[in-house]
Amino acid sequence: MIKIGNVAIEKTAALAPMASVADTAYRTVCKKFGACYVVGEMVSVKGLYFSPQKALDLLSITPKERPMAIQLFGSQPKYFEYALPKVLKSKPDIIDINMGCPVPKVVKTLSGCMLMKNPELAEKIAKCVVKNSPVPVTVKIRKGWDENSINAVEFSKRMQNCGISAITIHGRTKTQMYSGKADWEIIAKVKNSLDIPVIANGDVYSPESAKKMYDVTGADLIMVGRGSFGRPWIFSQIASFLKTGRYEPDPSLARRMQIMLEHIRLICDNKGENLGMKQARAQAIKYFRGIKGAARYREICSRLTTFSEIYELVKNISNDCYLNNGGF
């Protein structure tokens, strides 16, 4: 068990914040399978000022998701100060500030990882949020902007001095985006330089790699992002492996398809079938990895418009596999 401020979190694996992925449905499914902590999709503080309804849709929290953080991004302290009362109405357990997003449309607004190039502004934002938040405040960063400007240790110390309760570090630079390998050694250096909890992120795709990340970094907690795509059960596998050194294999095809349908049903319940199915296509595709005929099923998925269509697809997949393999 670790504590971020006054929030107790089991020391297993958390769900990383992922825009257009980690919505309420995704977070709920991952929590069901043992994610110890989840972070929502990042919310623009400027968006809360100029387009409040669109941004407010990202602030919902259900009891099943807790403990949960709402993640904010922006480049001007005044918008953070304006946004906080609106954000706090959702009663988040933690407020997380994104200072690590590498996506161009975020960086060009001087937000996300661009703040690592402007630590003075980052300090002003961190101090503003800490001052105005009754719940713990955390910051998510990267290794640095590029290999010639690795400043994660110095930047993290600045954030700690601002009153931040924990630091999450993804072991890649901004210029790497999501390519190459995450540098776990830089996470270890950040951990060794701080007194507050450090959360490690990057390249956990199995229970074994989760344990290795803990061992190499000494982190207080680890996060799983892309490693959970189409595999929300990875959280229960990690928890089991950390506790016993063993874990259950991936579920059968029948069970995998059942989980996918539950996930997509949640998306449709939350967003309506029309919008929900458009967004569910990308999620459904990920559940077909490793299945015989996956390319054909993914192509069909890209055209789905109703829940009944994906339900029929799952029935056909099940029948195909039963006939070809003599059962599940």
Q: What is the pLDDT of residues 265-284, one digit of tens each?
A: 999 999 999 999 998 999 99
Same-domain pairing of 217 and 80: yes
Q: What is the CATH number of the domain that holds 86?
A: 3.20.20.70
268 labelled catalytic? no
Chain centre to alpha carbon of residue 67: 13
Cα 265 to Cα 167: distance, rounded to the nearest angstrom: 34
Range of the domain at 7: 2-244
Q: What is the CATH number of the domain that holds 282?
A: 1.10.1200
Q: Is the pLDDT of residue 325 over 80?
A: no
Instruction: Say which of 30, 36, 101, 268 is annotated catalytic.
Output: 101
Q: How confident is the model at residue 40 (pLDDT cuts 50, 70, 90)?
A: very high
Same-domain pairing of 229 and 280: no
* For residues 250-270, average pLDDT: 93
Same-domain pairing of 289 and 202: no
Same-domain pairing of 213 and 64: yes
Same-domain pairing of 226 and 274: no
0.85 surpassed by pTM: yes
What's the pLDDT tens digit per position in 125-154? 999 999 999 999 999 999 999 999 999 999
The count of C-alpha atoms lying within 13 angstroms of the C-alpha of 124, restricted to the half-sphere facing its C-beta, is: 11
118-125 contact pairs (CB < 8 A, 24+): 119/151, 119/154, 119/155, 119/158, 121/75, 122/155, 122/158, 122/159, 123/158, 123/159, 123/162, 124/77, 125/74, 125/75, 125/76, 125/77, 125/80, 125/97
Mean pLDDT of the chain: 93
Domains in the chain, number: 2
180, 211, 244: which is the final residue of a domain? 244
Same-domain pairing of 240 and 270: no
